[in-house]
Chains A and B, each alone.
Chain A
Amino acid sequence: MPRRTSTTRDGFAVLAVAIRREPWIFTVSTIGSVLFGALTVADAWVLGWSTQHAVLPAFDTGEVSAGVLWAVLGLFVGVAILRAVGIVARRLGAGVMQYRMQAHYRRAVTRQYLTLPMEWHQKHPTGELLSNANSDVEAAWGPIAPLPMAVGTVVMMVIAVVQMLLADLVLAMVGLLVFPAVIVANLAYQRAASPLMTRAQQLRAELSEVAHESFDGAMVVKTLGRESEETERFAAKAHELRDVSIRAGRIRAAFDPTLTALPNVGVLVVLALGVYRVLHGQSDPGNVITIAYLLTIVSFPIRSLGWLLGEFPRSVVGFDRVTAVLQATGEMQYGASRLEGTGGALLEVDHLAYAHEPDGRLLDDVTFTVTPGRTVALVGATASGKSTLTSLMTRLVDPDAGAIRVDGTDLRDLAKGELARSVAVVPQAAFLFDDTVRDNITLGADVPDEEVWAALRTAQADGFVAALPGALDARLGERGTSLSGGQRQRISLARALVRKPRLLILDDATSAVDPEVEARILGALRGGVGGGNVDDGGGDGGDSTLVVVAYRKATIGLADEVIHLADGEVVDRGSHVELLDRSPAYADLVNAYEQQPAGEAE
């Protein structure tokens, strides 16, 4: 989002968010900072006291009482301990506050990731989302670290300024010109640095995108020998980030010494004017010294304010980027309806239409019904809309027109999580979590191991799972890369089966499984979804309703009815035999393996 307002104001606004969220920790760390400041002054007082009451008398009289020495030790160490407490309170407090804010926002951002619709996810690369949750959140709360110090020293600054005004109004006013100078320097800095910081955060996200995608596709990169091209792609971003960082760094390099120099220059100006006023009898030397001294005291708070302000551009940019995610809308709306039925579910697809992009219809006017307990095969050429249909049936996306109903209830009217209680899908590309076999199947649900094994048996996965070290407790690597494609598909199938869904959707879920194993899986499925032994569906004996996306005749053979899809429309439906009989296109599609090259007409 474009910003026209000032970075300084926005920076304080971001900090205000943090202070409102964590007022107590902020208070503690600020008190720690004030304590630290006060005790730094006290240190000088203790030195004065000790000189007055111990050192000078001792040298004068040649003797000193142990009590006084103990007092000296006690005072110094006491002040030092209190000051140490102040340091710990300030730094630890700032740390705790910073990390708490980071955690709050990371939780909020990831919650968004889990609620925003699939369309949103398709537009936002994983690497960018990682950057939002990590680097941007970190940047947003960066200024919390120097905050207590800055606030603590503001108190010091106010006291010093009041004293200056009391000493000599004219000189004080001249001395205080340092402040507008600081503000001007800060504005110049923010203006110069902000665009660079914005770009740098953007580049950090892009860098993370390239890295994530490239590592994700490492196998392709390797097999095609594109390591150098990938490295160049990454290097281009890395170099751009480097150049922007250097430019931002140079500006920062100029800002810090400027802030340090301003109060010193102020002192010199005050001295020059002070001498003039003393010579003309308008002021006395004591006041000049006081004001000059107070100005040097003020220089430290100004520097710590500088550290704070220096963090602002990056913070504001990070906060904006995080806010953009938090304010993204389009999360799915849920109704309140529940699915109370048992046994197989009734599935109605009613005049369904869906387009991913306005100019490309993926599904058009698709209508069919699957009665409870029946098995329907969706058959169609590659890119005919079958996978789109399964994502609509599991409500990963909502249709543009028409509706899908389960037991007569529109999917959109169902309460959150309700659909998943009754419907399970096994996607074409199995996705496994970096977790144990058991947790990959139960996904946290409380399922006894026997049922897990039963599901694995139906999926013909019990054999290789038993052979894994630890069996159900074996950890699968990220995305299950320690397994073969066929093994992943079978775990994914078991995950669906163990839920004993009332409607099971298999989206070409056995494509990577070899024919013999596939035959056994299909045999077991035919024997009853969910392991074929236990039916928790309330005892009416109804089998699950089954929708299979299939190419191979063995799978199609499972079906009571076949729905033939082409170009996003239902072109025919009936039994496999009927369709073979009357539809040459269908026959071509499913009989391809038997037709020999001789029959090739193209």
Chain B
Amino acid sequence: MSTTAATRESTTVDTGEQIPALETIRRGVAVSPELREGLVGTFLLAVLATIGQVVIPIAVQQTLDRGLSGPGGEPDVRFMVEMGLMAFAAIVVTGVASYLMTSRLFTTAERGLATLRIKAFRHVHDLPVLTQNTERRGALVSRVTSDVDQVSQFLVFGGILFVVSVLQIGVATVIMLFYSWQLTLVVWICFLPLFLSLRFFQRRLSDAYATVRRQVGIMLSAISEPVVGAAVVRSYAVEERTQKRIDAAIAAHQQASTRAQGFTAFSFSLGGLSGGLANAGVLIFGIWLGFADQITAGEVIAFAFLVSLFVMPVQMGTQILTEAQNAIAGWRRVIGILETPADLVDPGADGQVLPRGPIDVEFRDVTYSYPGGPDVLHDLDMHISSGTRVAIVGETGSGKSTFAKLLTRLMDPRLGAVLLDGIDVRDIRQSSLRRSVVLVPQEGFLFDDTLRANARYGRLDASDEEILESAMQLGLADWVDGLPRGLDTRVGQRGESLSAGERQLVALLRAHLADPDLLVLDEATSAVDPNLEMRIGRALERLMHGRTSVTIAHRLSTAENADEVVVVDRGRIVQRGPHAELVAQDGVYAGLHASWVAQQGR
């Protein structure tokens, strides 16, 4: 019944923070194969656009310098027309190439990210219940929303341009080498500290942005918690304290972002510093080389201009590299979800399909413990023959709910096996298992939609008549009729426009529509009034005819009407048999029953 707090460490979602940057990109691309599509074409367009950006100023420069004041001091019209047309062509080509490149990048990036989002979302649902419960909702939401959004910027304005920048650096180096290898060496030496420090900054930045992304998750959780628990916050007037907690999360996020921005700004400014150093170095060493007659004054000055050709892509590259850290931090977190094992593996098409009709249940030497905790069920052996109605009773903490979760494969046993119709649940295809076995938990969650839509969650194609028929069979017709809007009633967030009892009614209706062969009720009518509860109980007796049902209940009225009662105590079955028999025995059940009767006997 209880998951202890001690088990948390082992059931958390992978943060992904340990994945190295390049590995993140590799795995990210593997998850979203769209990102690879048309990459070569896009890359060529990027190169074309970059060349254009370099060529256009040069063409304009040439036109100005040589055309306007031609050989005779007069404008060389022919030359200017030729160069002008060439420059114009270059402008058009660059513009078109740049448009095509960005637009292709947007397309592949958004397509890839949609796939990533959807896969991550699906994976959250495939995670074990325990993991889902330990993770904060806000943090999970941030992973499939804002973390993914961060990646987009990088994919469009980062990845390819970074490669282009590196190429540009290479080309600039080759051109410089053509002029003077010594001075090229000087330039590289001046930039070496920057290149070396980049690694250091990358690590810092990576940490800083990982913190930022984590803080976003924490912030969203801090915001969502009091929104969900608004009633408690109001009725206990703890708005101020709650706001303080939110403010703290907001401040922590702000601080983390500012810190990351500080690193970015600082590492970016290093590029400019190295540039200045390189310029000075080129001139000073140029003069030295000049003394040795290795170079002319004109070459030194020309070289000084070349340095700017080198500095530009270096700055661009550093900028992309630093800003990429934010995207990669987000990417890691999404990939982290996908890498968290979904330990209840669906055998899929290889799995077996349960035949329709009442299900025979067997627990074979089942032992279960929550991760890191002590065993809560010990060597449980039990057989429930198909078509019987079994009630499971026991005190709080005896392991009743664990029983229900194992039966419906929300968790797998540590040892032993749970068999349905003789098949190990782990070998049953999930779709077949969910089709045949339905659990109605104590707190039936409803979606913010109409009563109809919530009922249909049990059977997607149910018509209004079928829903109403189902409600009638369960004895809920009066209740549905009493709602001013009937099936069109909106249930509100988490169903909170309804009372807890009404939410349980909807959950039951939903389960009934699902038409299961094995129905597991875990305190499913605890908030319903006794009269209605009994009516539902009797209705279920009729409806479960020819099916198997397992009911976990505190109220022994349910047990009284079951075919068989199983008494669980401290993780073991201590008694089983029909109510009348067990009451007569001197045991746990008699005690439970006595206290129940004492409560009712007034």
Q: Is A76 an interface residue (CB 8 A)?
A: yes
B534–A420 CB distance below 8 A: no
A592–B235 CB distance below 8 A: no
A223–B441 CB distance below 8 A: yes
A592–B230 CB distance below 8 A: no
Contacts of A516 in B (CB 8 A): 395, 592, 595
Partner of B396, one of A130, A225, A513: A513
User: When chains A and B are docked, how far (Å) is the Cα of A420 from the Cα of B111?
Assistant: 51
Partner of A126, one of B227, B257, B499, B500: B227
A444–B87 CB distance below 8 A: no
Q: Is B364 an interface residue (CB 8 A)?
A: no
Closest to A231 in B: B122
B238–A444 CB distance below 8 A: yes
- Interface residues in B536-593 by Cβ distance below 8 A to A read 538, 541, 554-557, 561, 592
Contacts of B103 in A (CB 8 A): 249-250, 253-254
Partner of B445, one of A204, A219, A567: A219
Q: Is B231 an interface residue (CB 8 A)?
A: yes
- Interface residues in A324-361 by Cβ distance below 8 A to B read 356-357, 359-360
Partner of A246, one of B110, B121, B483, B554: B110
Given A271-B63, A484-B1, the answer on whether A382 and B99 have CB atoms closer than 8 Å is: no
Given A219-B129, A223-B408, A268-B84, the answer on whether A256 and B98 have CB atoms closer than 8 Å is: yes
User: When chains A and B are docked, how far (Å) is the Cα of A250 from the Cα of B100?
Assistant: 9
A114–B243 CB distance below 8 A: yes
Q: Is A218 an interface residue (CB 8 A)?
A: yes
Instruction: State how many residues of chain B have any CB contact under 8 Å with chain A.
Output: 197
A81–B291 CB distance below 8 A: no
Partner of A114, one of B94, B106, B226, B500: B226
B443–A425 CB distance below 8 A: no
B262–A220 CB distance below 8 A: no
* Interface 1/0 per residue, B213-250 and A, CB below 8 Å: 00010011101111111111111111101110011001
Partner of A72, one of B68, B129, B284, B557: B284
Q: Is B102 an interface residue (CB 8 A)?
A: yes
- Interface residues in A399-424 by Cβ distance below 8 A to B read 416-417, 419-421, 424
A84–B60 CB distance below 8 A: no
B243–A77 CB distance below 8 A: no
User: When chains A and B are docked, how far (Å) is the Cα of A517 from the Cα of B397?
Assistant: 12
User: When chains A and B are docked, how far (Å) is the Cα of A268 from the Cα of B300?
Assistant: 31
Contacts of A122 in B (CB 8 A): 492-493, 496-497
Q: Is A464 an interface residue (CB 8 A)?
A: yes
* Interface 1/0 per residue, A571-600 and B, CB below 8 Å: 000001000000000001111111101001
A515–B137 CB distance below 8 A: no
Q: Is B146 an interface residue (CB 8 A)?
A: yes
Instruction: Name which of A54-62, A168-176, A450-458 contacts chain B.
Output: A54-62
Q: How far is the CB of B351 from chain A (nearest CB, A)?
A: 13
Instruction: Name which of A9-17, A149-157, A159-167, A469-477 contacts chain B.
Output: A469-477
A99–B8 CB distance below 8 A: no
* Interface 1/0 per residue, B1-43 and A, CB below 8 Å: 1111111100000000000000000000000000000000000
User: When chains A and B are docked, how far (Å) is the Cα of A90 from the Cα of B261?
Assistant: 11
* Interface 1/0 per residue, A50-75 and B, CB below 8 Å: 11001110110011100001001101
User: When chains A and B are docked, how far (Å) is the Cα of A405 from the Cα of B526?
Assistant: 32
B258–A126 CB distance below 8 A: no
Q: How far is the CB of A556 from chain B (nearest CB, A)?
A: 8
Q: How far is the CB of B80 from chain A (nearest CB, A)?
A: 6
A56–B268 CB distance below 8 A: no
Q: How far is the CB of B514 from chain A (nearest CB, A)?
A: 6
Q: Is B75 an interface residue (CB 8 A)?
A: yes
Q: Is A21 an interface residue (CB 8 A)?
A: no
Q: Is A195 an interface residue (CB 8 A)?
A: no
Do most interface residues of chain A lie in helix, strand or loop, or is the interface mixed? helix
Q: Is B251 an interface residue (CB 8 A)?
A: yes
Q: Is B450 an interface residue (CB 8 A)?
A: no
Instruction: Name which of A186-194, A232-240, A365-373 contacts chain B.
Output: A232-240
- Interface residues in A441-495 by Cβ distance below 8 A to B read 443-444, 464, 468-470, 474-479, 481-487, 495
Given A204-B145, A516-B395, the answer on whether A431 and B229 have CB atoms closer than 8 Å is: yes
Q: Is A88 an interface residue (CB 8 A)?
A: yes
Given A275-B75, A396-B235, the answer on whether A431 and B287 have CB atoms closer than 8 Å is: no
- Interface residues in B111-166 by Cβ distance below 8 A to A read 111, 113-114, 117-118, 121-122, 124-126, 129, 132-138, 140-142, 144-146, 149, 152, 156
Partner of A257, one of B98, B228, B277, B460: B98
B250–A595 CB distance below 8 A: no
B8–A271 CB distance below 8 A: no
B121–A551 CB distance below 8 A: no
Q: How far is the CB of B542 from chain A (nearest CB, A)?
A: 10
Q: Is A296 an interface residue (CB 8 A)?
A: yes
Q: Is A602 an interface residue (CB 8 A)?
A: yes
Contacts of B53 in A (CB 8 A): 260
Partner of A234, one of B121, B228, B441, B497: B121
Q: Is A526 an interface residue (CB 8 A)?
A: no
A59–B434 CB distance below 8 A: no
Q: Is A540 an interface residue (CB 8 A)?
A: no
Q: Is A27 an interface residue (CB 8 A)?
A: no
Partner of B129, one of A218, A470, A511: A218
Contacts of A249 in B (CB 8 A): 102-103, 105-107, 109-110, 156
User: When chains A and B are docked, how far (Å) is the Cα of A106 from the Cα of B243?
Assistant: 11
User: When chains A and B are docked, how far (Å) is the Cα of A468 from the Cα of B284?
Assistant: 72
User: When chains A and B are docked, how far (Å) is the Cα of A215 from the Cα of B253?
Assistant: 24
A293–B126 CB distance below 8 A: no
- Interface residues in A59-118 by Cβ distance below 8 A to B read 59, 62-64, 69, 72-73, 75-77, 79-81, 83-85, 87-88, 90-92, 95-96, 99-100, 102-103, 106-107, 110-111, 113-115, 118
B297–A278 CB distance below 8 A: no
B137–A111 CB distance below 8 A: no
Most buried by A among B6, B246, B479, B499: B499
User: When chains A and B are docked, how far (Å) is the Cα of A135 from the Cα of B219?
Assistant: 12
Contacts of B401 in A (CB 8 A): 484
* Interface 1/0 per residue, B474-515 and A, CB below 8 Å: 010001001111000000111011111110010100100010
B68–A482 CB distance below 8 A: no
Q: How far is the CB of B322 from chain A (nearest CB, A)?
A: 10
A588–B276 CB distance below 8 A: no
Contacts of A289 in B (CB 8 A): 64, 68
A130–B107 CB distance below 8 A: no
User: When chains A and B are docked, how far (Å) is the Cα of A468 from the Cα of B373?
Assistant: 12
User: When chains A and B are docked, how far (Å) is the Cα of A271 from the Cα of B458?
Assistant: 74
Q: How far is the CB of A513 from chain B (nearest CB, A)?
A: 7
Q: Is B463 an interface residue (CB 8 A)?
A: no
Contacts of A593 in B (CB 8 A): 530, 534, 555, 557, 600
Contacts of B595 in A (CB 8 A): 515-516, 519
Q: Is A387 an interface residue (CB 8 A)?
A: yes
Q: How far is the CB of B508 from chain A (nearest CB, A)?
A: 12
Q: Is A323 an interface residue (CB 8 A)?
A: no
Contacts of A428 in B (CB 8 A): 499-501, 527
Partner of A134, one of B87, B118, B142, B433: B142
Q: How far is the CB of A361 from chain B (nearest CB, A)?
A: 9
Contacts of A261 in B (CB 8 A): 91-92, 94-95
B533–A211 CB distance below 8 A: no
Q: Is B199 an interface residue (CB 8 A)?
A: no
Q: How far is the CB of B347 from chain A (nearest CB, A)?
A: 14
Contacts of A386 in B (CB 8 A): 499
A292–B64 CB distance below 8 A: yes
A514–B287 CB distance below 8 A: no
Q: Is B414 an interface residue (CB 8 A)?
A: no
22 examples of A-B residue contacts, CB within 8 angstroms: A58-B287, A73-B280, A76-B276, A76-B283, A92-B261, A95-B261, A204-B149, A217-B494, A220-B441, A235-B121, A260-B94, A260-B98, A261-B95, A296-B57, A434-B221, A434-B225, A444-B241, A485-B442, A508-B500, A519-B599, A592-B529, A597-B538
The 7 A-B residue pairs with the shortest CB-CB distance in the complex, in nearest-first order: A225-B434, A80-B276, A249-B106, A95-B261, A420-B237, A253-B102, A360-B484
